[in-house]
Amino acid sequence: MKPSDLGHNLLLGENVTVGSGVAFGANVVVHDDTVIGDGCFIQDNVVLGKAPSLSPTSTAKRGELSPLVLGAGSVVCTGAVVYRGAQLGPGCIVGDLASVRERCTLGQRVVIGRGTCVENDTRIGAFTRIQSNAYITAYMEIEDHVFIAPAVQTTNDNFMGRTEKRHALERGATIRRGARIGGGALLLPRVEIGEEAFVAAGSIVTRDVPARTLVMGSPARVVRDVPDEELLENQ
Amino acid sequence: MKPSDLGHNLLLGENVTVGSGVAFGANVVVHDDTVIGDGCFIQDNVVLGKAPSLSPTSTAKRGELSPLVLGAGSVVCTGAVVYRGAQLGPGCIVGDLASVRERCTLGQRVVIGRGTCVENDTRIGAFTRIQSNAYITAYMEIEDHVFIAPAVQTTNDNFMGRTEKRHALERGATIRRGARIGGGALLLPRVEIGEEAFVAAGSIVTRDVPARTLVMGSPARVVRDVPDEELLENQ
Amino acid sequence: MKPSDLGHNLLLGENVTVGSGVAFGANVVVHDDTVIGDGCFIQDNVVLGKAPSLSPTSTAKRGELSPLVLGAGSVVCTGAVVYRGAQLGPGCIVGDLASVRERCTLGQRVVIGRGTCVENDTRIGAFTRIQSNAYITAYMEIEDHVFIAPAVQTTNDNFMGRTEKRHALERGATIRRGARIGGGALLLPRVEIGEEAFVAAGSIVTRDVPARTLVMGSPARVVRDVPDEELLENQ
C-alpha cells in the first residue's frame, strides 16, 4: 500500500488500475489489484477491494478471489466497503455506508442503497434498485429491473447454523425480472418471487409468489393481480 | 479542500465557518460552505456538508442546496454523514454511522440514533428522539417531543417506482407532537400518527392513528387509550 | 493522541497497549488506555476505545469506564466502532460498520455481524454468533452458543421514555444457551428465550419461550419441539 497524490490521504495497494477521470474523496483505501473504471467517483472514507475475514464457522466459500472491478462511471459513496471478488457493471451506485461482498456481480446501473448490505455470491441484474438499509443475503439471484424498498430483509438458512444437511439447502430468494418488494418485507430462504410480482410492505414471504400477482400479509397470500399500468412495459 | 491544524488529518472545504470551542476528532472531512456552531463536537471519521450523488432515477429534488448548518453545541458522532442543505438546531446529537440528508431540518436537541438514516426533505421538531437503526424516509413531517424506537421503518411510495401519478403522492408519514412509535414498527406512506399516540412494537400502520390512542398489530388497530400517566404533561 | 508508525495514518491515544503481532489497516484511531491483545487485526477506519457521548435524556449509566480490552486474535473489521468500557474475549470478530458499546462483555469467539449494534451493558456468551444488521439493545443477557440471524430487533422499554417507573423495568431479553432467533424477529422487553429454543423468522415475541420449543408468528406461539438433530449436543 502506498500513498497517492490522486486524492487526499489516498492509499493504493499493489497493482491497482485507475481509469481516466476518476475522482477520489478523502481517506480512500484501495486494496491490491482493484480495477477502477473510467469516470468513477470514489467518495470519502471508501474502502475498495477488501479481502474477507471469515469466521471459522462462516459458510462463505474460501479460496482465491479475482480482483474487484468497478465499471465505468460508477459511484461508491461515503464510507462504503466493496470487497475483492465483486464485479460491478457500468454506472452503478453504492450508497453511503453500504457493503458489497465477495463474488457478487452487479449489472449495469444497479443502485445499492445507503447502509444496505449485499452478502457474498449474490447476483443482481441491470437497472435493479435496492433502497436504504436493506439486507440482501448470500446466494440470492436478483434479475433485472427489480425494485427492493427500504429495510427489506432476506434469509438463506432455515436451520440457523445446525445440521450438516443445511449446507446443501442454503440459498436466498430468487427475484425475477421487474418484481417489487415492499418496505420491511421479509423473504424466507429459497422462495421465488415471480416476474413483475408485488410484495406488499411488511409481508413475510414463506412460499413462491406467482408472476404479476400482489401478495400481502404474514404469511403472504395472493390478494389480486398487479395493475397493467404498473407493469414495466407501460412505464 | 485544505488540511487544517484544528484536528488530526482534518480537511476543510472552501468557505467553512468553525465556531469557537469546536472539537474535532480524527479524519474529519468538512465540505464547502459548512457552518459549524460554537461548541460542537465532531467525532472521528465524520463527513459534513456532502453534496448528494443522485441516481438518474432518484425522485429527490435537484438544484442548489444551502450550506449545512450545525447549531451550537451539537455532536456528530463517529462515522456519521450529514449532507449539504441540512439544518440542525442547537444541541442536536447525530449518532455513530448515522446519516442526515439534504434539506432536512432538525429543531433543537433532536437525537438521531446510531446507524439511523434520515432521508431528504424531512422535518423533525425539537426534542424528538429517534433511536438506533431506524429508517426515516424522505418527505416526512415529525413534530416535537416524538419518540421513535429502534429499527422503526417508514415508506413513502406505494407504487415502488412505477407510474407517473406516484410523484404527486410520494410522501412519508406525519407524526404529531409527543407520539411514540415502537421498536420495529412499520409506517406506510402518508399515514398520520396523532398527538401522543402510541404505536406498539412491531405494528404495521396502514391508516391514520387517532390522538392519544394505543394501536397494535398488523394492520394496526386501536386497542385502548394511552394512560394519563404517560402523557407529556405528566412527565 | 499521537501518530504511530505501526499503521498508515494510525493514531494512538495515551497509554494504549498493543500486543505482539497486531496488524493495523489504514486510518485507525485508538483512544486512551485501550488494550489490544496479541495477534489482533484492526482493519481500515476502525475506532477503538471511544468514550460515549450520552444525550441528556439517555438512560445509560454514567461514570468512569474501564479501558477497552480486546482479547488475543480478535478481528475488528472495517469502519467498526468499539467503545471504552467493553471487554472482548479472545478470537472475537466485530464485523464491518458494527458497534459495540460501553460495558458490554463478549466471551471467546463471539461474532458480531456487519452493521450490527450492541448497545451498552449487554453480556454475550462464548461462541455466540450475531449476524448482520441486528439490533441488540442495552441490558440484554445472551448466553453461550446462541445464534441470532440477520436483522433481528430487540427492545428494552415498554414505556418508550415516559414515566419514572420505567427505569426500574428497563431490560432487554434474556436468551439462554443455544437458542436461535430467526431473521427479522422482534423480541419485546424482558422476555426469556429458553435453552435451545427456536424463534421462527419474522416472529414477534411478547412472552417467554420454553426451552427446546419452536415458536412462530405474531405474537409468537409454540408450534412444536425443536428436532433432536438440531440440538447442540448432536452437532
Q: Computed from CA positions of residues A201, A205, A126, B118, in that sequence, does the dihedral angle turn out positive or negative?
A: positive
Would you state the cell numbers that stand for residue C139, as one nine-digit string? 441490558
Asked if B79 and A79 come within 8 Å (Cβ–Cβ), the reply is: yes
Cβ atoms within 10 A of the Cβ of B208, count? 15
User: What kind and span of H or E run contains C18?
Assistant: strand C17-18
pLDDT of B60 higher than 90: no
Q: Which residues are C192's β-sheet partners?
A: C174
- Between CA B162 and CA B170 the distance in angstroms is 12
Q: Computed from CA positions of residues B133, C114, A184, C173, in that sequence, does the dihedral angle turn out positive or negative?
A: negative
pLDDT for the residue C192: 98
Asked if B81 and A96 come within 8 Å (Cβ–Cβ), the reply is: yes
The DSSP call for residue C209 is B
For an interface test with C, the pick among A55, A96, A187 (most C C-beta atoms closer than 10 Å) comes out as A55
Asked if C53 and B44 come within 8 Å (Cβ–Cβ), the reply is: no
- Between CA C145 and CA C142 the distance in angstroms is 9
Q: Computed from CA positions of residues A215, A216, A219, A223, in that sequence, does the dihedral angle turn out positive or negative?
A: negative
* Long-range contacts (CB closer than 8 Å, 24 or more residues apart) made by C186-191: C186/B151, C186/B183, C186/B184, C186/B201, C186/B202, C186/C152, C186/C153, C186/C154, C186/C155, C187/C152, C187/C153, C187/C154, C187/C155, C188/B201, C188/C155, C188/C158, C189/C155, C189/C156, C189/C157, C189/C158, C190/C156
- Give the three-class secondary structure for B153: strand
Closest CA relative to residue C153, chosen from A161, B97, A156, B153: B153
Q: Is C204 on the interface with B (CB under 8 A)?
A: yes
3-state per-residue secondary structure call for chain A: CEEECCCCCEEECCCCEECCCCEECCCCEECCCCEECCCCEECCCCEEEECCCCCCCCCCCCCCCCCCEECCCCEECCCCEEECCCEECCCCEECCCCEECCCCEECCCCEECCCCEECCCCEECCCCEECCCCEECCCCEECCCCEECCCCEECCCCCCCCCCCHHHHCCCCEECCCCEECCCCEECCCCEECCCCEECCCCEECCCECCCEEEECCCCEEEEECCHHHCHHHC
Which residue from C81, C133, C204 is facing B202, i.e. has the nearest CB? C204
pLDDT of B59 higher than 80: no
Cβ proximity of B48 and B32 under 8 Å:
no
Would you state the cell numbers that stand for residue A183, as one nine-digit string? 418496505
Report the alpha-carbon angle A149-A151-A153, nearest 5: 100
* For C50, nearest residue in chain B (alpha carbons): B78
Q: Is the peptide bond before C90 cis (omega within 30 degrees of 0)?
A: no
The DSSP call for residue C43 is -
Q: Is B135 on the interface with A (CB under 8 A)?
A: yes
- Between CA C96 and CA C81 the distance in angstroms is 9
Q: Is A119 on the interface with C (CB under 8 A)?
A: yes
All residues at 6 or more sequence positions from B5 whose CB lies less than 8 Å from its CB, including other chains: none
Give the amino acid at B30.
V
CA distances from A40 to A85, B52, C142 (A): 18, 15, 44
Asked if C93 and A55 come within 8 Å (Cβ–Cβ), the reply is: yes
Which residue from A1, A57, A155 is facing C183, i.e. has the nearest CB? A155
Cβ proximity of C76 and C42 under 8 Å:
yes
- Between CA B175 and CA B134 the distance in angstroms is 15
Which residue from A45, A75, A183 is facing B155, i.e. has the nearest CB? A183
Scored b (16 or more CB within 10 A) or e, B26-55 reads bbbbbbebbbbbebbbbbbbbbbbbebeeb
Task: Look at strands A2-4 and A10-12 and give their pairing.
Answer: antiparallel
Q: What is the value of pTM for the model shown?
A: 0.97
Q: Is C60 on the interface with B (CB under 8 A)?
A: no
Regions in chain A scoring below 50 on pLDDT: none
pLDDT of B77 higher than 80: yes
All residues at 6 or more sequence positions from C53 whose CB lies less than 8 Å from its CB, including other chains: B41, B43, B75, B77, B93
Give the amino acid at A131.
Q
Give the amino acid at C130.
I
Q: Is A19 on the interface with B (CB under 8 A)?
A: no
Q: Is A66 on the interface with C (CB under 8 A)?
A: no
* For B76, nearest residue in chain C (alpha carbons): C53
What is the interface pTM, i.e. ipTM, of the complex? Answer: 0.96
pLDDT for the residue A208: 98
Q: Mean pLDDT of successive 10-residue segments in chain C (235 residues)?
A: 96 98 98 98 98 79 90 98 98 98 98 98 98 97 98 92 85 96 97 98 97 97 96 92
* For B56, nearest residue in chain A (alpha carbons): A109
Distance between first and last Cα of chain B: 47
Would you state the cell numbers that stand for residue B75, as one nine-digit string? 455532536
Closest CA relative to residue A184, chosen from A151, A224, A145: A151
Q: Is C196 on the interface with A (CB under 8 A)?
A: no
- Between CA B92 and CA B112 the distance in angstroms is 8
* Residues of chain B neighbouring C9 (CB-CB closer than 8 A): 9, 27
Compute, in degrees rounded to 10, the torsion defined by CA atoms B198, B101, B49, B106.
-30
Closest CA–CA distance from residue A206 to any residue of chain B (Å): 17
All residues at 6 or more sequence positions from A232 whose CB lies less than 8 Å from its CB, including other chains: A145, A177, A178, A196, B162
Cβ proximity of A209 and A223 under 8 Å:
no
- Give the three-class secondary structure for C223: strand
Which residue from C41, C201, C235 is facing A155, i.e. has the nearest CB? C201
Would you state the cell numbers that stand for residue A18, as one nine-digit string? 485507475
- Give the three-class secondary structure for C232: helix
* Residues of chain C neighbouring A27 (CB-CB closer than 8 A): 9, 26-27, 45
Closest CA relative to residue B28, chosen from A79, C76, C6, C13: A79
Asked if C53 and B75 come within 8 Å (Cβ–Cβ), the reply is: yes
The DSSP call for residue C139 is T
- Between CA A145 and CA A147 the distance in angstroms is 7
Cβ atoms within 10 A of the Cβ of A168, count? 7
Q: Mind listing the pLDDT tens digit for each residue in B155-212?
A: 998 888 888 888 888 899 999 999 999 999 999 999 999 999 999 999 999 999 999 9
Q: Which residues are A38's β-sheet partners?
A: none
Q: Is B213 on the interface with C (CB under 8 A)?
A: no
* Residues of chain A neighbouring C97 (CB-CB closer than 8 A): 79, 81, 97, 99
pLDDT for the residue A146: 98
Cβ proximity of B60 and B42 under 8 Å:
no
pLDDT for the residue B33: 97
